[in-house]
């Protein structure tokens, strides 16, 4: 009787995993915004400084906004299979007409940018994915890692980068402040930012 019980338990576990995977795939295909939170390793000052920020588009880049500047376009995106690749990429609308751009990481600067399919040639495009944390919070990953950072490019103006070499961007930050951040998927109808 024990082998039958073990088999049933394994089948139930497999079914639950398949349902979970299907739910995550459905979530990845639904439009969302991205909220930003400094990682728990960052100082209280940084936690407060970057609180309540959202990802917006600006001149082909992904930057942080305190959601108070009129005319900014919030990241509004979802995952799609990247053309001619075996992984998912990330797209975002770029205007109210819902034109789409691919999100990519600039291979020279490691900055998060958006552009047409042609713009992504020779850039870092994926795999992009969601990591479901223990508390159920979905967070963005690139190549199975949450290596996102924000760089203060001018006073209180932050742009998103990916720390490809896990070295705080090394010389690519040009001495500017770098803060490790988490990018949290937020449903379109969810008007609050993630709590710390």
Whole-number Cα distances in Å, 127 to 88, 132, 178, 182, 190: 5, 16, 24, 17, 26
In 3D space, the residue among 101, 113, 111 whose CA is nearest the CA of residue 164 turns out to be 111
- For residue 12, what pLDDT is reported? 53
Range of the domain at 109: 31-187
Over the stretch 96-140, which tens digit does the pLDDT of each residue have? 888 999 999 999 999 999 999 999 999 999 999 999 998 889 999
For residue 16, pLDDT beyond 60: no
**23 and 59 housed in the same domain:** no
**48 and 112 housed in the same domain:** yes
**170 and 86 housed in the same domain:** yes
Strand blocks (E) in 39-154: 53-58, 61-65, 73-74, 77-81, 88-93, 100-105, 112-115, 128-132, 138-142, 148-154
Number of domains in the chain: 2
Say what the pTM is. 0.84
């Amino acid at each position: 009787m024990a082998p039958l019980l073990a088999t049933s338990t394994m089948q139930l576990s497999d079914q639950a995993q398949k349902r979970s995977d299907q739910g995550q795939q459905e979530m990845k295909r639904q439009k969302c915004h991205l909220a930003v939170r400094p990682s728990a390793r960052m100082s209280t000052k940084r936690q407060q400084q970057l609180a309540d920020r959202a990802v917006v588009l600006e001149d082909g880049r992904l930057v942080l906004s305190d959601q108070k500047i009129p005319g900014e376009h919030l990241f509004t995106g979802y995952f799609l299979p990247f053309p001619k690749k075996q992984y998912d990429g990330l797209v975002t609308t770029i205007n109210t007409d819902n034109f789409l751009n691919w999100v990519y990481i600039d291979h020279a600067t490691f900055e998060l940018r958006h552009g047409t399919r042609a713009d992504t040639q020779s850039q870092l495009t994926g795999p992009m994915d969601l990591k479901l944390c223990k508390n159920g919070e979905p967070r963005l990953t690139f190549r199975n890692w949450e290596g996102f950072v924000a760089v203060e490019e001018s006073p209180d103006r932050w742009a998103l980068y990916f720390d490809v070499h896990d070295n705080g961007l090394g010389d690519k930050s040009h001495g500017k402040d770098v803060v490790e951040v988490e990018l949290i998927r937020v449903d379109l109808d969810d008007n609050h930012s993630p709590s710390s």
